Chains A and B, each alone.
Chain A
């Protein structure tokens, strides 16, 4: 079978929903900046060479609706020959888009393609603009519509993930992100043009600016501060704003090419896409998804946990991320994830608790972060994984190119 490679992988910064830098910027403009940034980084490839753009999006409607894959191809001034489609698997949508492009390449359907992820959680709210659970299904069982916060509480309660454990995990995520920001580790970020609207002398005017950093990182977070936060989803709960992912706006994308195309265009790929898989679980504890998807991935690829040199396990909530790591035996090895440890290989530059979780974008965003660090560290194998609303997990294995 043919092989599929990630040639380059980039992202916009992740910026806080509502109050963040991208709140007034159209989602298409975020994705356009990411895709054009990607194309600039691979000068060997011209826009006309790209056959297809798949965009992962969790709420593909309104501004990020219609068929955002084709819309963005036109907005970003690809020729008419470049096609596009939209993919939705909620929180793994971005990774799903990259993996689908890889599979199309492996099957021989395609040679040069873009897999992307996009979500403006400010502009299209979580749940969409018109959430309408099925009135008869909810009488039967409303589980499939459960709020993500409640699933995190369920995981914490059922598997005894304490408030202290969650807060500690959240704290380290912030510390790792703050250090990475300070040390310029996020080389995959594309400085992104954005707009904001300000009232001056009674007239509302548009201002343009460039955003080049994640604006949700809190370098001065303390454990004491986190301990004071009120539970966000249950009166007597343990899940708080401080140990949950931030809701964020952002876009990310990867250029995926066949081995043949890599040779033909003379590009230097970062990593090979080895495998991608999904696994199902109970909807009311959807956060445990990675605990099923990761072992399945390792089994399919004949790898052991120890073989993996770098992990990006999405921090939708500290409770589910801790539980998932416990299940693959990594949580107890604290050196592998603590912010002050040189041996850390899990979410090395912080996770969604600090950097945000722009739903449909996250899969593509974590891929870009993983590619940067695999290259920087020379890590042979990297795994990306996340839980998915409705009760699923996804995981992908990447192998660094020499």
Chain B
């Protein structure tokens, strides 16, 4: 039998259940979403199916309205049918996988699983998304056959965006079932799998909640404020900006307290048990319903003055009042922020000697020690713990990677000096001569296995090509500070960006030409891809404005003009090269990053794709043929035999996309917006992207690749001017567009329509490239564009002039 998930059931339609249902639907699975019949039905409602499904209907609606969106495309909701646990229970028979996501109550779960055991088809897999209750207890009353097909699948919130899926084997789960769910989770649902044990709160939340508890405990001891702690345990430690307390506001203080209490109750022998007892001020907050974002007040609160001014306040743990706050001011923090790399930032902060540094050290070291002490209790390897924290909590580095970053030996000495109890397994590791938890040897990433006291290979899916591995094997054939060309085997080369946010700069543009020449000589095709981290990660978040702003300020516009000529040459070179080029975008793919993809022969995109031509926010028009290639997609997305009568119907959405800087909220949405063609591929798991793109290159080679013919492009022409100018008068009159934005929007209209030619004229690419270049240079000549560009560079936010 080859297992397939044709139909899955999700029981429980809360935020997690709704998220899992949305993700499964996005993966093409038919989903049955069930919830309870409301307890409070009136007599006349008791037979009304609508009333009986009220809870599940509301749950699905909430999932559809969620922001950021849980669905890749709202159309996917058509794959979800709803029902309730009384009238529709029998339908579970038809399901290949049943995921339980009901309230965290042992008795309710036990009863539900016993019922499922009674009707389940023999091959149906059943899993629980519990975050803390032991599987053993939940399935106690079930048959052996049930237990063989039962496991824990713990998703993280928001389900679509969090990469982590913890899989918890039950005592009797069949290996075949575990392997299947892991593969399905990885390939179809796009998740990173972490193998956990059946221990309270598994890995992510055990370590994560300990970290939050520890931070609060030490914060109160050392007398730091909440915003100070968030600044320290944010980006300087490789953690998200929401750090500790903003993350808690996001999760909800009630949920956090519940998970914490659960560990306290169920782990009586935990050496840090007191950390899971939340501080008194947090308990008071929960009692007062100050639960975080969902109650509009948690650790932080935004007040709005009668003048509509926002004032951000934070709770003072001593008084329980909300007070205003400023920036943290510590020498160690300032130095850490300035440090170039994450390991340097961490070292600067943790080995500093002011109050902030001492605090950070106490918290971080405590966390490292706690994590090491959890092996083999919650996990056999450091890898699982690191992955759980990276994928479930968005840490740039897990605890062991962080420990490596600051030097294990050095830090252990400091721990001992400070009277901290260094875990035996770590001591043993150092004693064995091993100096780090990870190392790379012969291109393979190894981890230190405490059980065998030796290094073992970090196992990864064969589909997941890792650029770091190729680099370690010396496969980099060309390199510059911001980008490299890597041999990824089979004569395919990967052009990797590695600048800040992977913004495209002059060096990359020049490099692309060299790389192209190299591949032409030595390879069969090229993948444009990288594996940047972050939340959201950036394939390439735009173009580097500093260079051009400098030229503009110096009045050197001819240099800008020649630079754009160079960009055009590079971009169109990609399009017409004699070998296939496949772009592999994911996450933020904006401006220049988007333009690079639009020029490729094919796109293999991750399902989480935020793609758009957003240059107007920087006071500019796209300068890398983005408008040309987007328009080409629109006008050529039809059989040649069909003639477009109303070119404006195609022009307007393409124009609006650029003039309003629209960004897709998924790859499916990018396809809807015209950035992705029907033939471009969507891959659920980001880790597999480079591998799939490489396969695509090889397939195109096998098919007999021929570069696209250089054809003319049919444009709307001067009619666009009539339409856009007339509409701009209404927008201006209505106060919907500031003057310089109108000026730029009109330039976009001219560039995308081909300017002063009759509707339906077929113009050359050179004609459109000239318009784009002129618009680009003209804009740089204006003071307002210079101001807008400068503003977005400094603040990251558009200034609308």
Q: Which residues of A are in contact with B by a Cβ distance under 8 Å?
A: 129-135, 137-139, 142-143, 145-147, 149-150, 153-154, 233-237
Contact = CB atoms under 8 A, between A and B. Distances in A.
Contact of A153 (B725, B733, B756, B759): B733
Contacts of B719: 132, 135
Given A132-B719, A132-B722, A146-B729, 8 more contacts: A130-B645, A138-B726, A138-B729, A139-B725, A142-B726, A145-B726, A146-B726, A234-B734
A133 B725 contact: yes
19 contacts: A131-B648, A132-B648, A132-B722, A132-B723, A133-B722, A133-B725, A133-B726, A134-B722, A137-B722, A142-B725, A143-B729, A145-B729, A149-B734, A153-B733, A233-B730, A234-B733, A234-B736, A236-B735, A237-B735
A150 B721 contact: no
A237 B734 contact: yes
A237 B719 CA distance: 29
Given A134-B722, A139-B721, A142-B725, A235 B736 contact: yes
Contacts of B43: none
B722 A138 contact: yes
B74 interface: no
B718 interface: yes
B646 interface: yes
B734 A135 contact: no
B110 to A, nearest CB: 42
B515 to A, nearest CB: 42
Interface of B: 645-646, 648, 718-723, 725-730, 733-736, 756, 759
A145 B718 CA distance: 16
Contact of A138 (B721, B735, B759): B721
A130 B648 contact: yes
A138 B722 CA distance: 6
Give the secondary structure class of A's interface. loop
Contacts of A133: 722-723, 725-726
A233 B730 CA distance: 8
A138 B750 CA distance: 14
Nearest to B735: A235
Contacts of B756: 135
Q: Find the residue from A149, A150, A236 having the highest chain B CB count within 10 A.
A: A150
Contacts of A147: 727, 730
B646 A130 contact: yes
A380 to B, nearest CB: 43
B175 to A, nearest CB: 43
Contacts of B645: 130
Contacts of A233: 730, 734
Nearest to B737: A235
Contacts of A138: 721-722, 725-726, 729
B646 to A, nearest CB: 6
B19 to A, nearest CB: 30
Nearest to A236: B735
B729 A142 contact: yes
Contacts of A131: 648, 723
A177 B55 CA distance: 41
B734 A235 contact: yes
Given A130-B646, A135-B756, A150 B734 contact: yes
Given A130-B648, A146-B729, A153 B734 contact: yes
A135 B718 contact: yes
B335 to A, nearest CB: 46
A231 to B, nearest CB: 8
A150 B646 CA distance: 26
A129 B734 CA distance: 24
B168 to A, nearest CB: 43
Contacts of B720: 135
Contacts of B725: 133, 135, 138-139, 142
Contacts of A143: 729
A149 B733 CA distance: 10
A234 B718 contact: no
Contacts of B723: 131-133
Nearest to B718: A135
Contacts of B721: 135, 138-139
Nearest to B736: A235
Nearest to B759: A132
A244 to B, nearest CB: 14
Closest 8 CB pairs of A and B: A133-B722, A234-B734, A138-B725, A145-B726, A135-B721, A235-B735, A135-B718, A133-B726
Contacts of A129: 646
A150 B727 CA distance: 11
A234 B773 CA distance: 34
Contacts of B726: 133, 138, 142, 145-146
A131 B720 CA distance: 10
Nearest to A143: B729
Contacts of A150: 729-730, 733-734
A219 to B, nearest CB: 27
A306 B756 CA distance: 56
Contacts of B728: 142
Nearest to A231: B734
Contacts of A154: 733
A133 B725 CA distance: 9
A135 B729 CA distance: 14
Contacts of B733: 146, 150, 153-154, 234
